[in-house]
A and B are shown apart, each in its own frame.
Chain A
Amino acid sequence: MEVIEHIVKKYNAEVMVNEEVRREIGWQRKLGITENSLIKTSTITVRIKSAATGRLEDWRDVVKQAMKGRSNRDYPGPSKVKPKNFYMGKEIREEQLNKIQETMLRIRPLQFGYAAHTTKTVYANYNGVMAEDIITLHSISAELKNKNYSVWLDDSSPNPIDVEQFIERLKFRLEQGKRTEKAKTGKYKVIITEEAAYEILQPFIEATHADKIMKNKSVLKLGSIVAPKELTIVNKPITKWGVRSESFDSEGTPTKETTIIKNGKFVNMLHDNTTAKHFGAKSTGNSASMAEKPSVDEQNILIKPGSKPVDADITVYSIMGEHTINETTGDFSLPIVHAYNAKSKKAIVHTMISGNVFEMVKDMKLDNKVFIYNGLKSPRILTTLTFVS
């Protein structure tokens, strides 16, 4: 703390210190080896004339580098409002990790991994702002296979993950894959789960970032109707279920809940201080990076449920290649990883889904129950997709 205060006062700086402890176990069935790791790192980022990052113990070098730059981007400066300190998540004990491994090995997965990360972030700036977040996150992944079908699943949470429930989900999908079929090329009404929605809806959420709009890289216009009336999307920086929770952003601005889409209308952009100045607005606490590439990013996303259940024969649980979606136009063609046709009682294989994210959103209907996946709380979504096989 003394070092941070010294840098802030002496150099009129912004400072962020990240201390991370990562505990992981991994297992591969055919190698038959357990991997254990314990990693501790501490880094400091200093923003003065430009930004520099290095080891906490090398902070003098980091300050020198930050003094050397000549960045001239239009940065209006950091927050003047002090955020609250924030603590979330439960750390894991050795015996809990052993128990998790024991439980997972019972189902003989091809591979599995479990990790618990605790990150302490301290931020301070020359406006007298100083705050800290300490957050623990747990993540799990596993692959299960029978003769003809394999299932890979992951999940994350601020609290130790319920492994028994995770195993049930793996087994459920493997059971669905006992018989498989290719879908015929054509348009289908489908249910998209929260897991698939997390991937497919990303370009839509990003199109509400003010930096994208400022740079003419978003097709959405503030104030316009972009979705059906029942769609309301809220950015929730601090929630019990959110794996991306934080009480301040990388400019020290206290994070706050922001309704992005209200009853189908695009009502608020997500801002950092630069975009807020550009649009004559206030920052929403969504500055994503202090050093390399300052940008806007959401924290946790809540999609509010609809009023009644929705249903379709086909449910798309997961897709892959989401990074290939055209983030500007929203066009996508993605292979299905796991989808199930309840009518034929077969999993769908060797089939791609094709469409446009923004068109898909206009056609969405929302179920009345919500599920959580990796920082997204969403109802299952009924929409129309083109299948190609």
Chain B
Amino acid sequence: MYWDKRCQQIEKEVVIIEKGTQRAKTKIKLYGTRVVDGGIALGGGEEDIPPEKLRSIIKGKGNYVKHEIATKDHIKVDGESKYDINTLKDYLTILKDDKRVKQARVIFSYSSVIKRFSNSFGANITLEFPAVSLYLESTVKNCGKIETYTERIATIGGWEKVKKAHNLAHSARRKAIKLTRAKKPPAGRMEVVLDNEMTGVFFHEAVGHALEADEIIKGDVLSDKTGKKIASDVITLYSDGRLKTNGYTPYDDEGVKAKRTTLIENGFLKGHMHSLITASKMGAEPTGNGRAEDPTHFQIPRMTNLVLKKGDSNLNEMIKETKRGVYITGFRGGVVDTTKGQFSFTGGIGYYIERGEIKHTVKMVSFEGNILSTMKRISLVGKHYGGSGGFCGKAGQYVRVDERVPKIKIDEVVVGGSN
């Protein structure tokens, strides 16, 4: 009988500044005990449950954990825990610095995370790290139109990661104003150039989820494609939980040490992201991607940090190469159906391109496509890294993720604009 035990304590402070200042503190400690033996049982919450208590609710027989993880380690990441309320108020002043701004809001949160893991093989791992997020939101009324734009940072680390975000506050205000003058893009098939943030989300949604091994086992569009060409030659993609960005996972929630996993190499599908159970099922090595939102949820294959190998194009070259399309920046949201192989994204603000030149600003730029055909239509990869951390939802669980990616150009997607 295999068992593992997890404990997670998060102390979090949230500060919201708009008309006044609100602060809220949360300190939650949760336990989870998982038993894997012919089936899987999870018990916990506020109580630390002994594994023997859970054995009786499992039905069936079979060894589903075939890798002996017995690592002992303690990792601590430091970050500034004290924040400066006056800097946050400065951000609000910048966000409101135009008479057309009707509402502005700053949301800052600082979390101190402690995670402990042990298992029946003798593993004993403690992780301690801080995490911050900053949301800068500006709502503008101009020419009878209301628009809101939000800039965000989410990363591992402390106050030092967000204390110089003045330019981001300016950007949120300016983009909200721009959006009130923007048109919808024309609808239909066209080229797109994606900024770093959108490229990150594109790889996360369009291909990342489909390479999580539970989706592969379930039978998604990439299930039978290992070793086959699934993307253009310019695409090499890794998963790497070691990077100290928002998806930092030096050990996953099954005690597996992070490493760089090649997912796609020069367009060929090379690997998947595994939990212990999917690795055992597929006869693969664990990759450090068995993650859970907290100990009251099962560990399942999840992304950590995705890294796309750099190319040699710059933004101007990508725009010049575009006959008719949109340069999409920022990010509102994205989704994927890995079984059907269908994805969709919406950007924050876009720029309509004709014959290699930006013509005007466009808003609500959504595009959708099929994973297999779109990955083969990526023609250019940029040479500068960027991206921004965020949170990913799957099976009712939210985890921190990040992408380190350059810009890309895709030669054809369906843009859902005005008709």
- A residues with CB within 8 A of B: 20, 22, 26, 28-31, 33-43, 50-58, 61-62, 65-66, 68-74, 110-111, 143, 145, 149-150, 152, 185-187, 215-219, 291-294, 320-321, 323-324, 326-329, 331-335, 337, 349-350, 352-354, 386, 388-389
Query: Within 8 Å CB of A143, what residues of B?
Result: 218, 339
Say if the beta carbon of B284 comes within 8 Å of chain A.
no
B346 and A217 form a contact (CB under 8 A): no
Query: Within 8 Å CB of B20, what residues of A?
Result: 71-74
> Contacts A28-B218, A39-B43, A143-B339 known; A73 to B332 CB distance under 8 Å?
no
6 sample A-B contacts, Cβ–Cβ < 8 Å, listed by A number? A51-B25, A217-B103, A217-B139, A217-B148, A320-B335, A329-B147
Q: Spot the interface stretch: B44-52, B70-78, B311-319, B397-405.
A: B44-52
Query: Within 8 Å CB of B139, what residues of A?
Result: 215-217, 328
Measured in the bound complex, the distance between the Cα atoms of B346 and A54 in whole Å is: 36
Residues of B137-155 at the interface with A, using a CB-CB cut-off of 8 Å, are 139, 141, 145-148
Query: Within 8 Å CB of B103, what residues of A?
Result: 215-217
Measured in the bound complex, the distance between the Cα atoms of B296 and A72 in whole Å is: 35
The interface on chain B, measured as residues whose beta carbon lies within 8 A of the other chain's beta carbons, has a size of 75
Query: Within 8 Å CB of B332, what residues of A?
Result: 323-324, 326
A145 and B184 form a contact (CB under 8 A): no
B339 and A145 form a contact (CB under 8 A): yes
B281 and A31 form a contact (CB under 8 A): yes
Rounded to whole Å, the gap between the CB of A358 and the closest CB of chain B is 11
Measured in the bound complex, the distance between the Cα atoms of B337 and A270 in whole Å is: 35
Query: Within 8 Å CB of B342, what residues of A?
Result: 335, 349-350
B419 and A185 form a contact (CB under 8 A): yes
B45 and A40 form a contact (CB under 8 A): yes
- B217 touches which of A28, A333, A350 (Cβ 8 Å): A28
B46 and A71 form a contact (CB under 8 A): no
Say if the beta carbon of B86 comes within 8 Å of chain A.
no
B45 and A41 form a contact (CB under 8 A): yes
Query: Within 8 Å CB of B60, what residues of A?
Result: 33-34
> Contacts A36-B58, A388-B414 known; A291 to B188 CB distance under 8 Å?
no
Residues of B310-347 at the interface with A, using a CB-CB cut-off of 8 Å, are 332-335, 337, 339-340, 342-346
Rounded to whole Å, the gap between the CB of A301 and the closest CB of chain B is 22
Query: Within 8 Å CB of B99, what residues of A?
Result: none
- B296 touches which of A41, A51, A69 (Cβ 8 Å): A41
Measured in the bound complex, the distance between the Cα atoms of B374 and A335 in whole Å is: 15
Rounded to whole Å, the gap between the CB of A325 and the closest CB of chain B is 8
Rounded to whole Å, the gap between the CB of B269 and the closest CB of chain A is 18
**New A-B contacts (7) at CB < 8 Å, excluding given A43-B28, A55-B27:** A31-B214, A62-B27, A74-B19, A111-B218, A218-B146, A329-B364, A388-B416
Query: Within 8 Å CB of B29, what residues of A?
Result: 55, 58
Measured in the bound complex, the distance between the Cα atoms of B32 and A29 in whole Å is: 25
A57 and B46 form a contact (CB under 8 A): yes
Q: Spot the interface stretch: B34-42, B123-131, B226-234, B245-253.
A: B34-42
B14 and A217 form a contact (CB under 8 A): no
B218 and A30 form a contact (CB under 8 A): yes
B39 and A36 form a contact (CB under 8 A): yes
B26 and A291 form a contact (CB under 8 A): yes
Measured in the bound complex, the distance between the Cα atoms of B24 and A68 in whole Å is: 10
A324 and B346 form a contact (CB under 8 A): yes
Rounded to whole Å, the gap between the CB of B241 and the closest CB of chain A is 23
Measured in the bound complex, the distance between the Cα atoms of B30 and A34 in whole Å is: 23
Say if the beta carbon of B64 comes within 8 Å of chain A.
yes
> Contacts A35-B40, A70-B21, A321-B333 known; A150 to B340 CB distance under 8 Å?
yes
B277 and A37 form a contact (CB under 8 A): no
Query: Within 8 Å CB of A327, what residues of B?
Result: 148
Candidate in A66, A291, A335, A353 with the most chain B CB atoms within 10 angstroms: A335
- A50 touches which of B22, B30, B333 (Cβ 8 Å): B22
Query: Within 8 Å CB of A65, what residues of B?
Result: 25, 27
Query: Within 8 Å CB of A293, what residues of B?
Result: 14, 16, 107
